[in-house]
Structures are given as structure tokens and as C-alpha cells.
Structure 1
Amino acid sequence: MCGIAGLFHVSVPKPVDPARVKAMTDMLVHRGPDGSGIWTGPGIGFGHRRLSIIDLAGGAQPMLTPDQRAAITYNGEIYNFREVRLELQAKGHSFRTESDTEVILAAWREWGPDCLSRLHGMFAFALYDAAADALFLARDRLGVKPLYYAELPDGALVFASELKGLLAHPRLRRTVSPEAVDDYLAFGYVPDDACIVAGVRKLAAGQYLLLQRGRGVGPPVRWWDVDFSHPVSGKPNALAEELTEIMRTAVRSRMVADVPLGAFLSGGVDSSSVVALMAEASRSAVETCSIGFDEADHDETGYASLVADRFATRHRARTVAAADFGLIDTLADAFDEPFADASALATYRVSELAREKVTVALSGDGADEAFAGYRRYRLFAAEERARGLLPGDVGRALGRLGDLYPKLDWAPRFLRARTTLQALGKSSGEAYAEAVGVTPPALRSRLYGPALLKALQGHRAEERYVKTMAEAPAKDPLSRAQYADLKIWLPGDILTKVDRTSMAVGLEAREPLLDHRLVEFAARLPANMRLRGGSGKWLMKRAMRRYLPEDILHRRKMGFVTPISAWFRGPLASEAAAIARSSALSELGWFDAAAISRLAADHRAGKADHGRLLWQLLMLDKSLQRLFGLGASSGYMAAAK
């Protein structure tokens, strides 16, 4: 894995200062500690930081074709590069290295933008074609690898793997985006179609951007999408066999590396499935690692040890303190943009542990989105069944009734919940958008001051989900929700978390359960083969029965749980109050300090649980300090340390 950065003068080929490209690239040294390179041409400059994985001696970048007519800086792994290489050799192309980078260059020369459909893997790259005087930026199908870009006042376009790379350019304007602030507080992350720095964009998953000199910056082009609208028919056993083979292929293709390789193992069905298939394919014991917590309610190491013993892995486990405050500033530095998924603390620690022995680690991320594993899918499906039985005016009445939180002992259990009743008063898309979010609109609006409300101009973060679900290529509500999560939640939260935490310690994380062929297969399944009888990942669990015991397949999902509510009633209580009175949020002038103080006081007193929102505000404050120089950073978090 690597870090990339660069600059392209869109209008005319002005000279590019290599030192400026180097400054951007040096901000990404953590992504590529093994080497660096800079290349410049007329109106173009590429930078690269390398983490050596394949062809350790011959894969240096930026890489040029022998005739110097094309250049590339690339972050990622192409798992089928040897097959594509053979196809290109049959067409007359020759190769000087054993790297996948050179294969991308040749594939571009042969097929142009259509080369992307032939590449199986995770990637974000910039390619310059001298003959066309054009820059080509591309991102993989699911958004495993990130790519930021922005236009400068002088008309140049800059790009980088992380926001900090762009910010190293002195001409990039730093202005806080009010819409991104609302998006972040709604979801706990800034989605792919937004950025906390106004004017900065992220190339979305499955998109490319082709810039020809003199023609300006046009809109990105979508080159891949997932289609839920054509479910297949088939017997469960046959489909389970097909799924097993797809998973087996995905895992084995990601075990190719010229450096030590291992896996994260939590003991859940996803990571356990990956480890089982790795053990099946490996001639030696698989390196696995897991993180445990000093609080039993949050510890999964017993399950991980059970799986490790079953497959005779070389397993290492480490117990860390649930109150891991020392990482808060480290994570703020790693993410740049505000990021409030508190499981990032544990993900960082397990990446740190893995890096002690390996350079590449396979993870189990992606199965929950592809096969409907989250609890929210089950609740949403139940709500949708109820919504389908209720006339619109009855649903709206129940929604208003939910605001009063009535005692409905006569109703089915799921209808007793206040949030369920409120959801029935909304459209399907509106209800799911709030279910997947962190802070609902009503609570956010209580915190916003007049200046932010005016700047938002009616912007509402949840509309992104409503629109995406309405436009989804899907025929049923569950599939529409999954489609939206694959487009918004997966790249915005899960993949951002894994990329930044693993790259912060120089570890390459690979996600076999996000192989696009596996995701496409899952999308073609009837909804009842993803979610059945209240159980998500139904067909996947059926496929894995030959490998995993029942107590792993059907145990309660835990994940990395961080007790942030308890933190803000204990060691972080003073920090919650500090956010309101003397922080970057206060200096920004967009928030009602009195409202934040009341919220923090109610939480400390146990009158309400605002732990997640307080964590959001803390991480937003950290980001604003770092990116915009707001607030007093000296002494901050002193009480927690």
C-alpha cells in the first residue's frame, strides 16, 4: 500500500516545482515508509510514498512507460494482475518488472478507461497520458482506497490519498464547510460526496475523472455499480456452494505478497470465515491477532482463541484498556476530517499488533453490508412490513404518538419502541436515514446557532440517503437500504476507519469479503437469502457450516464496542464541558454554547445518554484545531491524561 499526491495544470502547462510535490508527498510518509519518488513533466507532477508488497526491487514509482509517454502514481493492489499481464503480452506488450503498476500502464495503453473493468482489486491512481495531454484519476469499485482532489485559485488541480497531502499546498484555501459539519453530526463521518474543507472533493467509489488540458474540470464518470434488481433463483445448497467458491477465490487472491501476511481475528463469523479459508489454502500456520478489553462485556478474545485453535493459527492476543485515551490525538491526526466511530481506537490497536509480525493483514469487513448482517436491517425489515400494512394517515398518527412515548403493552415488541413508532410516521428512506445515523435532525438543530442555520440554507444530511435509496437499482426495501449503505456508510465509515488506522502504522489491510464478484453475487440473491428468520447473512452462514461451529456462526454480534457514555460521566466529564466554553467549536461561532453545556450536564447527571454526540463534538473540535487553527490546543485533554 502507498500514498500518492500530485498536481496538474488544467488550462496551460505551467512549470511544476518538484519541491511542492515533495512537500505534499512527505505528508503521507506513514502510508509508504519504504521509499519515495517524484516525477514532473510539462504542467504535471506526481509524488509517491511506497509500502513494498509486490516486486520489492522493481516496483518503484512514479513509473513511466519505456517511451516516456505515460506515467502513473498508484496506491493499491491488483489481485489479478498476472492474468491481465498474460492477456496484454498476447497483444504484444512487453514488461520490465513483476509489478502490478506496470500492468496498469499497459492496460491503459491498450484499453483506455475501459481498463478499469479488467482490474480486480483495491486502488486509487493518477495516470498521465502525454499523447492526449490528459490526467486520469480512478478509484476502485467499493472505495477501499481513498482519493481527494481540489482546484486551486490558479486553476491547477491537486490530488492526494489523504486530506493532509492537499493541505501541504500553500494555495489551497481552508474554509469550513457548513454542510459537511451537518453531515458529520448526522452520521459520525463526512460522506464521500463532501469534505470538511469547502471546495475539496473525494473521488467516489467506482468513479473516474478524465481531465484533458484546456477543457476544464468536468464531472466524474461512474464506471461500476452494483445491481440488486435482478434476483436469481436457485436452491440454497447450490447457491451456498457457489458462494463458498467465490469466497475461496477472493481469499486466495489476497494471499499473494512478497512480505509476511496474516489476518485480523475477532471470533465473529466474518473474520473466522476468512481465517478458515486462509488455513485451507496455506501450507503453513496462518498468523492471526486479536484485541481484548479489560472489561469483560466488551471482550471477544475467547471466541477468537476458539477459532485460532480450530485452525491451528499462530495467534497473538493483547488486552488493552477500554479507556484508551492516549489514542484520541493520534486518531485525530490520522483521520484529518472529523471521524466519530469510536471503534477506530480498537482497530488502530489491532493494526498495531498485527504490524509487529506482518505487513499485510486480511480482514472480515464488508459481509455485513453485502449480506445484511447488521441488526438495523432486521429492524428496518420489520418496520417495512408494518408500514406496508398501515394506511398513510395511520402511520403518520403513530409517528406523532411515538413522540409521546406511550406505553403499548398490547403491541408486538418491535412496535413498543419509541423510535419504531416515530419511524412509521416517516417515509421508508427518511426512517432508514435516521436509523443509520448518529444524531437526529431535531437534536442537531438544538445545538446550531443562527449563523450555521443560515449557512446551511436548508441542507439536510439525511436527504443523501433518501435520494440514494429512491434511485437504487433494487426492487425491495432491504435491497435499497443495503445499496445506500454500500454507497455511503461503507466508504464513509468502515473503509475510512480501516484505511486510516492500518496505514497509520504502515500495515496493508485487505478485504476479501469486498471482492466485487462476491458483492455482485450477494446483490443477486433474493432478499430472504440474505435476511431470514431474523438472522442476517443467512446464506453465508449456511455456506460456512462446513468450516465453523454453531457457536461461532450464530453467536451474538459484538464488534469493537467502546464505552464512551461511561467516559463522559467519568474521566472525560470535564472535557465535555470544555468543548462548550473554550474550544474550536466556540471560536467557530456556529454552535449554541449554552445548549452544549446543558447537554453535557444532563449526560453527567444521568438524565440522558448523549455519549455518542459528545464524542462527535470532541472529535470535531480536534479536527477544527488541526485543520483550521481554531481553539486553544495547549492543555487540551490534560484531565484525561
Structure 2
Amino acid sequence: MHAAQIWSSRKLKLLGCAISWHGDDENGTLQDDTLLIAVDGHIFNDDELKTGATTGTANIVAALYREHGFEETMRRLNCDAAIALYDKITETLWLGRDRVGARPVYYAQGKDVLAFGSRASALRAAPGVRPEVNRRFAALFAGAHYRFFDNRPEDSPYEGVSQLPAGSILRADASGVRLEKYWDLEDLPLFEEPREVLAEQYRDLLVDAVARRHRAFKNPAFTLSGGMDSSSVISSAVRVSGKKQHAFSSVYSDSTFDERDEIATILDDVAEEWHPIRVDEFDLMATLSGMIQANDEPVATATWLSHYLLAGQVSEMGFDALFGGLGGDELNAGEYEYFFYHFADLRQAGRLPELEGEIVAWVQHHDHPIHTKFRDVAFSVMDHVTDPDKPGIVRPDMDRMTRYYPAINRDFYDLASFEVIFDHPFKSWMRNRTYQDLRRETTPCCLRAEDRQTQAFGMINCDPFLDYRLIEFMFRVPGDMKIRDGVTKRLLREAMDGILPDETRNRIAKTGWNAPAHVWFSGGPNYEALRDTLASRAFRERGIYDLDAVDTLLDEHTRIVRSGAARENHMMFFWQLLNLEVWLSEMEAV
């Protein structure tokens, strides 16, 4: 954790634990006769805790711990924080991570040492810790879909380093080291209140989540795309502050990815000033190097290159926080694949006329030249990703998972041996799909990139949709209030009535925060840099890839993109390949 103050600026030997922790600032650390505390992050419900602590996150944690113990302290906090606490009286070390994992915590057990910190790479030097790369991590990054990178929340990029999962605590004392969850989503009954009532409750929760985060910073900025999520966040901030905000957007010369026209519909209502950050001409390899140094590991998708460039510009203008809409897709069934899980829930409930109507509306609103949509596709995909005989059992999309397995050298790691873990705490397919996204798929890798890239530029990331109160609330909202008439995010659209402009609120077409990486890998200097990487001795001797398969994929990718054919290209594969190779090369150079 990066900050100005370290406990006594030295390593302390406590019960065989090597502690070297940088708190977020001087208010995030505490040392007295009985406790050592460091907090990386922010507490947003300090007004509700009644601890008597007047300043500092560490003081709040100390007061709560003395009265309630560590586990109950974590439960009482609405925070985006990682916390370390050493109790000198009981000789116990506690580590805690916020409910969604906004702030990272890694730990490693070596020879008579327990080391922990925000960066996994820093722990490799601890005595007795295995420093080599985790081959499963490397192989998944090389040849699997990004959704599966975080399927093991306890994994890190290194063999001897573990990650503390979100919503968990670690306790270390003379009896050993133990991990346990302090928070999880319960299978509670769905709400039965009318849609109008739930929309009002949703609006109040979201506005409050934004307000609590907005007041924590002196000079926040906001990412803004053409979609509902980021627009809802910045509009809520305008509502609670009474002031328009600074908005930043990635823009492109490629109209397929550019959302300037959609963004323009909201600017008059929310933006004190709009800052379009053009992402077109840049040195890909130099930018990747900076990104990977900031992230301390390879980065999941090309979207985060746009975010990295944007964050650098935001920081240069003096802002201290960057708000975004992460979590909105997961909570509101905003991704296209949620349709199939909603369809499965309707079929299981015997609501067949409604199912047929939803499929017709889905085809009408979301047909695509590559991913053609019609009734048979809906049922085929539904049966592919759900088990119709077992309510709630979600099947992994193995076609997506295994597409590039043949390009990975089985002598390095046999990806066929990797078993995807799916959690099924609910009887609803959509709820289980959402749970998987929050815990093991989309959310962890996105939060990691947001945290590290904003921190690298001296800022904090804020995602109000991931306030745990909103998560718990939305898990009790019926599926037909999220998807109806072929349109996603229905309850959010209703909740934002009067806050968002109708043109934004009612927009169905979705571009998303993507990047034209397919072009980067099909011509020009970035393409040549990729070719040079594939021809390098280091890459070819590493033994991770089947080299002939990689060459074939690049030739095919180039033909597809240059021809303009309506076919899937291999952009994601080569983005992951370059990230992995740059990361490995830079580790070797240290």
C-alpha cells in the first residue's frame, strides 16, 4: 500500500509475522500501547458508527475493535478498505478485506514468517516463500477467457503468495493461521412490493451511496460513457452536491467504439466541463509496460488501456478520486448473457407465454451481424449454459473457455485439467450468474485494474453500485424487474426517472467501454511490435505457447480484420499474450 507513513519506518517482528504495511495516509495508521492498525481505503458510514473517534479511519477501527472484536468490526463498516490490526495483548494478527474486494490483500507464509501487503510481488522476497510464477495463473491468462482468471479468489500470480478473498478475514496467532468469511449474500425471499416502491427505494440507496463517497473527497472526477451506469452515478452526484461535475470519456476515431453522440445527450445536465480523452495514437508497448508496472501483473482486457490513459489525464488535472459505474451491469442484468438465465428462470416457473414474448423482444432489440439472434438460438444457448433439470445450476461456457486451449503448450500446463468452480447458493439461474460475476468473474479483475491504475496516479477509485447495501437489495429484486420486453436494467431506468435525461434513460443500444484493439494487432507499428515479440528468442523459449498455433492465429486475425469480414477475430488472445509476455520480461529484468 502506497503512502507517506509506514509503522515506525521499519519491519517489526511480532509473533513471527513480518509486518511492512504502508497506510493510505497518516489517518490510516495507529500505534498505541495495545494495538497496531493500518487501513488502506475509506470508511463511508462513520456518521452511523458512534465510536467517539473524531478523526482517522484507524481510530474508528480501533474503537470498534475494542468494543466488538475484529469480525464484527468488519461487518459494521461500509468501506472499500483493507485492514491490518495487531493486538499486542492477545498476540493476534488480523487481516480484513472489504466485502467486494475493492482493495487488495495478499499474504505469504514462509520460514517463521507471515508477510502481507497490497502487492503480491513484494512478498516473494520473504524468507521461505516460493517466488516462482504460478503456472496455472500464467496458462489461464495465456489461453482462457478473461472471465476465468479469478475463478480461484485465493490465487495470486505467484506460487508462494495467496490472496485474501473479498469479504474475508485472516487470523494469525500462536495456534496458526485461519481464514473465514464475515459476509456473504443470503438466499432471502424476493421482494413482493410494487415496482414503483422498489424503484424509489433503489434510487434512495444509490443516491446515498454516491453521496457518502462524494463527500469523502475534495476534488472528484467521473468517468462517463453513453450508458446507464456511469450516467446514473454522475447524475446522482449532481443531485446530492447541487453542482455539475467534471466528466472524462475515452473517445475513438473508430465510430464502432466511439460514444460521443450518446454522451452528448447528458452533458448539459451533469458536466461542468467534459474532457474527451482520445485513444488512438500511442505506443502500445510503452503503454503496456507502464500499465503492468502499475498493476503488478498482466491486465485482463484492452478496456483497461483506455482507463489507464484516461486516469493519467485525470490525475494531471489535480483530481483526487475517479468515480465509475462498475457493478451496474452485474446488479441490473446489464450484460447480454443475462437474458439466457432470465429465460431459464421464466421457463422453470412455467411462465411460457411470457418467455416467448421476451424472446421475440430480445431478437427485435439485440440482433447482431455476427451473433445472430432468433428463437432457436435462445433455447440452444439456454440449454448450453444452464441445467434444465437442476434449478439454479449454471454451466460454464466451455466453448468460450476452451477456444484457445490448443494454442497452449500442455507441457507447460494442461488447461484441460482445470475445473471451473461455480457457486450455486440460489435456486435462480440469474441470481447465481450474478453471484458468479461478483465473486469469481467480471468484478474482481475490473476492481483490481481500477484500484491499481488510479493508485498509480495518486487517486482513489469509487464505484457506488458496489455499496454492499445495493448489492443485497438488488439480489432480492425479481428478474422481471431487471429484464422486461427485451430491455435490461428496467428497475434502474425507472429509479432514474427525473434524474437522468429520458434519451439516456431509455436508450437500449449498448456500446460499452471497449477499445478497438483488433486494429492494433492487424497493422501499423503496434502490429510490428507484436510480430517482433513473437519472433523474440525469449518468447519462443518460454515454452508457454504452441508457436505454430500462435502464428496461425495471427495470420487469421490479420485476414479477418483487414477484410472487414463479419467474423470474430482474435484480438483478446493477442491482448492477453502481449500482457503476459511484457509482465514476464519485466520480472526477469528486475
When normalised by structure 2's length, the TM-score is 0.85
Whole-Å separation in 1 of the counterparts to 2:169 and 2:117: 15
SS in 2 for 1:531: coil
Pairing 1:356-375 to 2, within 5 Å after superposition: 356-375=317-336
Whole-Å separation in 2 of the counterparts to 1:476 and 1:151: 39
CA offset digits 1:125-182 (Å, max 9, x no partner): 1110111111101000111111111112x13111111223324547542222222234
Aligned to 1:448: 408
Which amino acid counterpart does residue 329 of structure 1 have in structure 2?
S
Aligned to 1:561: 514
Aligned to 1:76: 41
Unaligned runs of 5+ in 2: 351-371, 561-566
Identity, in percent, stands at 25
Q: Residues 427 and 543 of structure 1: is their aligned pair in 2 closer, same or farther, counting only changes over 3 Å?
A: closer
User: Of 326, 334, 339, which aligns to 2:294?
Assistant: 334
User: Of 197, 214, 220, which aligns to 1:255?
Assistant: 214
User: Of 132, 156, 162, which aligns to 1:201?
Assistant: 162
Which amino acid counterpart does residue 118 of structure 1 have in structure 2?
R
**Correspondence 1:319 to 2:286:** no
Two-structure CA RMSD over aligned residues (Å): 2.9
**Correspondence 1:187 to 2:145:** yes
Q: Is the 8 A contact 2:247 2:271 kept in 1?
A: no
Q: Is the 8 A contact 2:254 2:516 kept in 1?
A: no
Aligned to 1:601: 555
Whole-Å separation in 2 of the counterparts to 1:60 and 1:232: 40
**Correspondence 1:376 to 2:337:** yes
Which amino acid counterpart does residue 352 of structure 1 have in structure 2?
G
Report the CA distance between 1:618 and its aligned residue: 1.3
User: Of 72, 83, 103, which aligns to 2:60?
Assistant: 103
CA offset digits 1:191-211 (Å, max 9, x no partner): 123222113111111000111
Q: Is the 8 A contact 1:581 1:593 kept in 2?
A: no
Aligned to 1:123: 81
SS in 2 for 1:204: coil
Compare 268-277 and 138-147 and name the one that shifted more: 268-277
Whole-Å separation in 1 of the counterparts to 2:72 and 2:170: 13
Q: Residues 386 and 580 of structure 1: is their aligned pair in 2 closer, same or farther, counting only changes over 3 Å?
A: farther
Report the CA distance between 1:577 and its aligned residue: 4.2
Aligned to 1:64: 31
Q: Residues 501 and 493 of structure 1: is their aligned pair in 2 closer, same or farther, counting only changes over 3 Å?
A: same
Q: Residues 367 and 412 of structure 1: is their aligned pair in 2 closer, same or farther, counting only changes over 3 Å?
A: closer
User: Of 487, 499, 521, which aligns to 1:535?
Assistant: 487
Whole-Å separation in 2 of the counterparts to 1:525 and 1:132: 43
Whole-Å separation in 1 of the counterparts to 2:283 and 2:502: 33
Q: Residues 629 and 171 of structure 1: is their aligned pair in 2 closer, same or farther, counting only changes over 3 Å?
A: farther
Whole-Å separation in 2 of the counterparts to 1:244 and 1:425: 35
Which amino acid counterpart does residue 535 of structure 1 have in structure 2?
V
User: Of 139, 162, 165, which aligns to 2:122?
Assistant: 165
Aligned to 1:413: 374
SS in 1 for 2:80: strand
Q: Is the 8 A contact 2:343 2:382 kept in 1?
A: no
Which amino acid counterpart does residue 324 of structure 2 have in structure 1?
S
**Correspondence 1:345 to 2:299:** no
Compare 238-247 and 490-499 and name the one that shifted more: 490-499
Q: Is the 8 A contact 1:150 1:159 kept in 2?
A: yes
Whole-Å separation in 2 of the counterparts to 1:305 and 1:535: 22
Q: Residues 416 and 224 of structure 1: is their aligned pair in 2 closer, same or farther, counting only changes over 3 Å?
A: closer
User: Of 513, 516, 519, which aligns to 2:468?
Assistant: 516
Whole-Å separation in 1 of the counterparts to 2:13 and 2:114: 14
Whole-Å separation in 2 of the counterparts to 1:585 and 1:47: 35
Pairing 1:112-511 to 2, within 5 Å after superposition: 112=69, 113-152=71-110, 154-167=111-124, 169=126, 172-184=129-141, 185-188=143-146, 190-191=149-150, 192-212=153-173, 214-218=174-178, 220-257=179-216, 259-311=218-270, 313-321=272-280, 325=284, 326-355=286-315, 356-382=317-343, 413=374, 415-416=376-377, 421=380, 424-425=383-384, 427-428=386-387, 433-434=396-397, 440-441=401-402, 443-453=403-413, 459-461=417-419, 463-464=420-421, 467-468=422-423, 471-472=424-425, 474-511=426-463
Unaligned runs of 5+ in 1: 4-30, 53-58, 90-94, 390-410, 631-641
Q: Residues 491 and 413 of structure 1: is their aligned pair in 2 closer, same or farther, counting only changes over 3 Å?
A: closer
Report the CA distance between 1:539 and its aligned residue: 0.5
Report the CA distance between 1:628 and its aligned residue: 4.8
SS in 1 for 2:41: strand
Whole-Å separation in 1 of the counterparts to 2:328 and 2:503: 18
